[in-house]
Structure 1
């Protein structure tokens, strides 16, 4: 009788294990495929992650670059942002293990003046950490008419923040 109980308990345990893992045997794991869940685009240059980059414009011609630079390294890094036909550049320093927000009031701003900055378009912006390979992101151009971006138009950030580079 005791051997029968042990055998039944063992078979029940195996049945539960197979039942719980059964879906995993036949269905692909969706967590392997990460997609952007925001309006912006992201990428990595060296040890610096560029997150959720967008250009916000009012009427076109000038856009405010909004992005987050995240340094995943244990030492600080310089990041160069380059854009437009004149290859305009700005350089920022991101401290070790820290992040730097671009384009929000009170933070560093990058105003992109170019006739190709038109709402609905994609505008190429390059990011490069020191001597690593630059990445060029096709950054979406959005308008301040969308609620999350209403305070990020060039006119609003200009009046609240002075351009700077770290």
Structure 2
């Protein structure tokens, strides 16, 4: 009788463990956060850079898109963004962020002569005084996707104005000229 009880308990325990699936031993996916954006994320000091990417249709010039977050409670920070020796800066107020894709209050970061290849990754260096800079491999996308159509860099207009030139032509007259 005692053996039957032990066998029944062992069978019940085996069924309970088998019915619980593998979740007892495997890690939960909800504990693993995965990046689901087109851009990349990097952090330098008190600045977080989120969803950083470049938009370029021609490969000659590029516009930097991303969000710069200042985690400092008291200090406004001027962040430098460098691509191949060309550097642009962005002022990020304390405890605030600057969204360079949608924020109409801030200028865009356009890099003329960036020489990037759409579809590639480009090293972009982020830094500010008082913190060690960091580089990230930022993807270069085109404006062919609907969400990026309005974000492509525009060419800088030249100050030279070209007017059409009219060439005078000889036209015959019907009336004779009297001497």
TM-score where L is the length of structure 1:
0.72
Offset of residue 34 of structure 1: 2.2
How many equivalent pairs are there? Answer: 137
Q: 1:88 aligns with which of 86, 89, 105?
A: 86
Superposed CA offset, 1:18-54 (max 9, x none) = 9xx9876322032443221010001111111001011
8 Å CA contact 1:122, 1:141 repeated in 2: yes
SS of 2:118's equivalent in the other structure is: coil
Pick the structure with more strand per residue: 1
Pick the structure with more helix per residue: 1
Kindly report structure 1 stretches of 4+ aligned residues shifted beyond 3 Å.
21-25
Runs of at least 5 residues in structure 1 that lack an aligned partner in the other structure: 1-17, 160-166
8 Å CA contact 2:62, 2:114 repeated in 1: no
The residue that corresponds to 2:129 in the other structure is 130
8 Å CA contact 1:48, 1:70 repeated in 2: yes
User: Cα gap change, 1:138/1:57 in structure 2, threshold over 3 Å: closer, same or farther?
Assistant: same
Superposed CA offset, 1:50-104 (max 9, x none) = 01011111222111100100111202222111111xx222222211110012244
Offset of residue 122 of structure 1: 0.9
Give the stretch that moved more between structures: 37-46 or 93-102: 93-102
By relative contact order (CA 8 Å, sep 6+), the higher-ranking structure is 1
The residue that corresponds to 1:144 in the other structure is 143
8 Å CA contact 1:103, 1:110 repeated in 2: no
Q: Distance in 1 between matches of 2:133 and 2:112?
A: 21
Q: Does 1:99 align with 2:97?
A: yes
Give the stretch that moved more between structures: 36-45 or 125-134: 125-134
Q: Distance in 1 between matches of 2:115 and 2:87?
A: 17
8 Å CA contact 2:83, 2:114 repeated in 1: no
Q: Distance in 1 between matches of 2:100 and 2:124?
A: 13
Q: Distance in 2 between matches of 1:69 and 1:105?
A: 11
- Look at both structures and tell me which one has the larger radius of gyration over its CA atoms: 2
